[in-house]
């Protein structure tokens, strides 16, 4: 007699099935399509359920910074402490710089050529601004300016871009959501942790790993 005949069929795990469905890319695409159709054909219903959507977005924003900090620091520390991956750090850093430079070059060139967002007619600007601002938080959380903001002279000149990358207070950068500054701090902190002996950095590494896993549950 076969073992499968004795054991019988395995019970259906509803939790595992629901987790697979919710994490499937097909589910994400289907929900995006449903949201677009709902906004186009049932705008009143979309406005009615907008607090639920805003609550979901707030939950996502809540875990972005902990996920970013823990994952970047933990990954950089593990790479630096691994002798096999140290030789690839220079190549990875160079690849990141090259790709970032190419992305800035392409986007800047296309912006200069296509000039997106340029509206020559002042009346069209006013009508577009009134339409966007009338949609409330469902459409946008930003006010649409009718006139360009006044340009103030930058006393630091070209050095302001470099100065803005380095946070003078990492906790203030975390609180204000300065992602670039936080990312730079995480990279430098991860490199510094990688140079510390593993017995000294093990507790913090395990804590960061726990935070990362908690954000991805």
DSSP tag of 10: P
Answer for the pair 182, 199: CB distance below 8 angstroms, yes or no. no
Question: How many separate domains does the chain show?
Answer: 2
Q: Is 183 within 8 Å of 72 (Cβ atoms)?
A: yes
Residues 162, 214, single domain; the answer is: yes
Is 92 among the domain residues?
Answer: no
- Domain-embedded: residue 204: yes
Residues 168, 209, single domain; the answer is yes
Closest CA to 201 of 189, 211, 183: 189
The answer on pLDDT for 182 being more than 60 is yes
Q: Which of 1-15, 32-46, 99-113, 168-182 has the lowest mean pLDDT?
A: 1-15
Domain identity same for 64 and 15: no
Full residue range of the structural domain in which residue 20 is found? 11-48
- Please give the average per-residue pLDDT across 25-47, as a whole number: 89
Least confident of 5-14, 19-28, 41-50, 141-150: 141-150
Cα–Cα distance for residue pair 209/192, rounded to 1 Å: 17
Residues 62 and 44 in one domain: no
166: in domain: yes
Count of all residues that appear for the chain in the document:
217
Select from 191, 196, 195, 197 the least CA-distant residue to 74.
Answer: 191
Q: Which pTM was predicted?
A: 0.58
Provide the pLDDT for residue 174: 80
Residue 136 lies in a domain: no
pLDDT value for 158: 52
Specify the pLDDT at position 140: 45
pLDDT digits 0-9 by tens, 115-128 = 776 777 777 777 77
My answer on whether 64 and 28 are in the same domain is no
- Looking at residue 29, its pLDDT comes to 94
% of the chain with per-residue pLDDT over 70: 81
16 and 34 belong to one structural domain: yes
Q: Give a yes or no: residue 70 inside a domain.
A: yes
pLDDT, residue 30, reads: 92
Q: 70 — alpha (psi -120 to 50), left (phi > 0) or beta?
A: alpha
With a pLDDT cut of 90, the percent of the chain lying above it is 3
Q: Tell me the helices (H) and strands (E) count for the chain, helix number first.
A: 11, 0
Report the Cα 194 to chain-centroid distance in Å: 25
């Amino acid at each position: 007699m076969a073992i499968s005949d004795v054991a019988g069929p395995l019970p259906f795990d509803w939790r595992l099935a629901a987790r697979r469905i919710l994490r499937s890319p097909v589910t994400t695409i289907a929900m995006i399509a449903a949201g677009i159709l709902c906004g186009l054909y049932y705008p009143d219903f979309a406005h009615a359920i907008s607090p639920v959507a805003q609550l979901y977005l707030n939950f996502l924003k809540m875990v972005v910074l902990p996920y970013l900090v823990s994952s970047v620091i933990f990954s950089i520390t593990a790479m630096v402490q691994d002798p096999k991956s140290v030789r690839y750090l220079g190549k990875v850093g160079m690849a990141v710089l090259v790709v970032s430079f190419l992305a800035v070059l392409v986007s800047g060139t296309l912006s200069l050529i296509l000039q997106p967002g340029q509206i020559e007619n002042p009346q069209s600007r006013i009508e577009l601004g009134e339409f966007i601002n009338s949609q409330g938080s469902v459409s946008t959380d930003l006010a649409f300016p009718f006139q360009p903001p006044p340009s103030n002279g930058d006393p630091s000149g070209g050095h302001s871009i470099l100065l803005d990358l380095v946070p003078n207070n990492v906790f203030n950068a975390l609180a204000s959501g300065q992602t670039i500054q936080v990312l730079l701090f995480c990279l430098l902190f991860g490199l510094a942790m990688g140079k510390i002996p593993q017995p000294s950095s093990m507790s913090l590494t395990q804590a960061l790993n726990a935070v990362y896993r908690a954000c991805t549950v």
